[in-house]
């Protein structure tokens, strides 16, 4: 085996597999690396007065999310770790770095490799058994039913916007919407509840309760401040008085 010959062959292969062409104001570098779906990894270079931003424009993350429809939060962690190990930045799913022209080739390959690794991380995640997550909405429903409170999960409400909403829990006897907010992605859940409550708050006089799982982590002030604008807050650790009122 001749080391020099192998090196030359590798260099020729990479050169043959790599092309660069301008796309709008960016230089698109089609590299010798590939995503799991068979597409080649394309990295974009943008000139900012002599400094060059090199980015995958979130393509690695997009490929990953097409294949992973659950547990998407883990991809952000994977992306951060992959980029940190390669001296890159990971923001909103986007792999990037800013370099001088002298470091441009190295940066293109590092960004391409990181983007491919993020896409490939899905295979490892899918191989893991999903952790059993506590369904907080079921806990709330169960306790209401235990107190002989009728609960519906298929109720439809038309908001002021005309949009049809399907509240998680509807208590007909109290004319109340009950939206549990568990420990999983509480801010995302809170914003969805805010949109629902805000759209129905002037419709038919519904009572609106956001039931917050406050076991474990401290409930962030911004979640409380957001939801207090459109409904009443019920903390799970202090649920008994509210349960008794609803059960009347």
Statement to judge: residues 46 and 145 lie in one domain: no
Statement to judge: residues 140 and 122 lie in one domain: no
At residue 118, the 3 state secondary structure works out as helix
Q: What is the mean pLDDT of each run of 10 residues along the chain (248 residues)?
A: 83 84 90 89 94 95 74 74 92 94 94 93 61 74 92 90 90 92 84 91 88 81 91 92 87
Instruction: Look up the domain containing 172 and give its range.
Output: 136-247
Statement to judge: residues 72 and 119 lie in one domain: yes
pTM for this model (two decimals): 0.51
131 lies in some domain: no
pLDDT value of residue 62: 87
pLDDT value of residue 124: 66
Q: How many domains does the chain have?
A: 2
Q: Which of 126, 157, 185 is the last residue of a domain?
A: 126
pLDDT value of residue 131: 47
Contact 200, 231 (CB under 8 A): no
Burial class of residue 178, CB neighbours in 10 A (0-12, 13-18, 19+): buried
pLDDT value of residue 89: 95
Contact 104, 55 (CB under 8 A): no
pLDDT value of residue 125: 57
């Amino acid at each position: 085996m001749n080391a020099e010959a192998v090196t030359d062959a590798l260099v020729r292969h990479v050169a043959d597999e790599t092309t660069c062409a301008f796309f709008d104001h960016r230089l698109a570098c089609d590299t010798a690396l590939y995503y799991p779906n068979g597409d080649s990894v394309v990295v974009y270079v943008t000139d900012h007065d002599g400094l060059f931003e090199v980015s995958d424009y979130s393509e690695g993350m997009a490929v990953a999310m097409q294949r992973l429809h659950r547990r998407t939060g883990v991809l952000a962690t994977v992306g951060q770790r992959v980029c940190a190990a390669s001296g890159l930045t990971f923001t909103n799913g986007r792999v990037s770095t800013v370099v001088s022209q002298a470091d441009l080739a190295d940066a293109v390959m590092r960004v391409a490799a990181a983007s491919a690794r993020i896409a490939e991380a899905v295979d490892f995640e899918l191989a893991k058994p999903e952790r059993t997550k506590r369904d907080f909405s079921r806990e709330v429903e169960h306790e209401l039913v235990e107190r002989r409170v009728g609960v519906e999960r298929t109720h439809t409400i038309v908001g002021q916007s005309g949009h049809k909403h399907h509240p998680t829990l509807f208590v007909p006897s109290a004319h109340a919407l009950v939206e549990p907010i568990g420990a999983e992605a509480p801010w995302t859940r809170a914003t969805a509840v805010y949109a629902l409550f805000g759209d129905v708050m002037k419709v038919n006089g519904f009572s609106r309760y956001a039931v917050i799982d406050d076991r474990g982590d401290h409930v962030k002030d911004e979640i409380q401040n957001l939801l207090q604008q459109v409904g009443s807050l019920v903390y799970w650790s202090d649920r008994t008085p509210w349960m008794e009122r609803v059960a009347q």
